[in-house]
Structure 1
Amino acid sequence: MFQVVQEQSNRWSLTCSFLDLQTLRAGDEGWLVLDVTAASDCWLLKRHKDLGLRLYVETEDGHSVDPGLAGLLGQRAPRSQQPFVVTFFRASPSPIRTPRAVRPLRRRQPKKTNELPQANRLPGIFDDVHGSHGRQVCRRHELYVSFQDLGWLDWVIAPQGYSAYYCEGECSFPLDSCMNATNHAILQSLVHLMKPDAVPKACCAPTKLSATSVLYYDSSNNVILRKHRNMVVKACGCH
């Protein structure tokens, strides 16, 4: 596999950079995995350098072979057997904002809803907790899982890791709307204030998860691309 780095005036003449090589036997079947990371990195930095890839198939004695005759049909193949590229991009973490002082709520007309009232609307006995606004509330934190550190790279092909995130922080009363608290968490927090030794605080946990795709070898040494559910934390809340 080569990366096309320059096209000559003669449209049949190309300057290519070597990327990867695989040696196959005539009876081999299944997916062919080629590492094109160097080309991908180049294209990310300089988009105008994306002139495509070039695949060559040769016999052991150096004779060129039509890839189609070797079973590489490209876009002519059934959709489930067409070539594809697996890439992984890690987003830059967004800056963390410092907590602001809580502004007093304006009185509004009550909305018709099945949700329990927010904690800061409840009267009286909870005034003693209003001085703790500086605490770190329940939110999402950065967590990068490295498959290399886990010792999984002998069977995981790509990605080498991913941003999984995790949830951590206080779920103390009052539970603001930004904490995505459940009705049960609101009630549990109320009971905790009255009986702190008997009932714990609500817990900070994922409220929304998303899937991520992993390319790996199965027990029969086949290459499998599978989307695994509930791998990435998208949002956190109090439960």
Structure 2
Amino acid sequence: MSEDELTSLRIEYVKNQILHKLRMDQRPPKKSFDDLPEPIQEGFAIQNDDDTEYLNRQLDDYFAKTTQKIIFLTQEFEKCKSHEYPSICFMMNISEDLDVNIIESAQLWFYTEPNNLNHGMNHTFLLSEVELWGTSKKFIKSKTLAISQVGQDELAWEKIDLTTSLKIWLEYHNFNPTIELACETCKTEAMPISLHQDHKPFVVINTFPKRSFNRQRRNVNCGPSSTECCRDSLYIDFATIGWNDWIIHPKGYNAYFCRGSCNRVASITQAGTHHSTIFNKFLHHTSKNTKKKLELVPCCTATRYSSLQIFYLDSNNTATQVTLPNMIVESCGCS
């Protein structure tokens, strides 16, 4: 088998691993990212956790664990008609499988346009939940969730904390709350919130705490003339394999693989795995009790893995970030 054929098989194995860990039988249908808000397309609204070692300790299961969800809001036209201030309403569609016990934080992101505001002064935005509506669709009651002061001298993304509200909605099984954002200091009828596809509001939900943990990795990579067991590069480019139309981030990643010989006894005894420890004892016992040459030769295989975070579009109103356990080879050894 040629090296190109081996590479193709390795890539197919990685693709199958991703789908299996996401509990998918096949890749999702092709999606368009053109109407995603700018912070998502450019990646700065996406939570990145570099503490893969911490994640590995927490992710004992084979399957993916959700670390972030982004909910795209649907504008609601009927429920804001009677507000005394310029306002806009949105309906949220919260996944029913979202566990309240793993919510770390939630934020509403919205983009303000200074053309509709008075320059040189701060403006007050009032976020409320529309709670009750009569059969005639007239305003009955709303509950204030947050008040935000915004200084408007330039275009900007603003954030309002929704963590407590989201947990209450989940606890009471309110999966489709309606929220209203009003500008109490705006003197025009137009609401200064952009609804353009690049700037439309959305809610970011983080479901796994960030950790700061620095660790040094051993240099286990193969060199140009390596023959003994080592780690070699295997970059998976999602555009090349045709998966860049549903995986938003990252654009690709290095999965790595193990290659090389395990003929030397030193390679076996220094591998540091449970299997190699037993093998080392067997070598010692054999050398004491027989003069026969040992013919067992172990394989070069992965001894440590780390996780991969991917961010993908799973429906029209939700994007999800998950952590896939054991997707990146960190070190190789003979076992």
TM-score range relative to shorter protein: 0.3 to 0.5
Higher helix share: 2
Higher relative contact order (CA 8 A, sep 6+): 2
Higher strand share: 2
Instruction: Give the alignment's TM-score, normalised by structure 1.
Output: 0.46
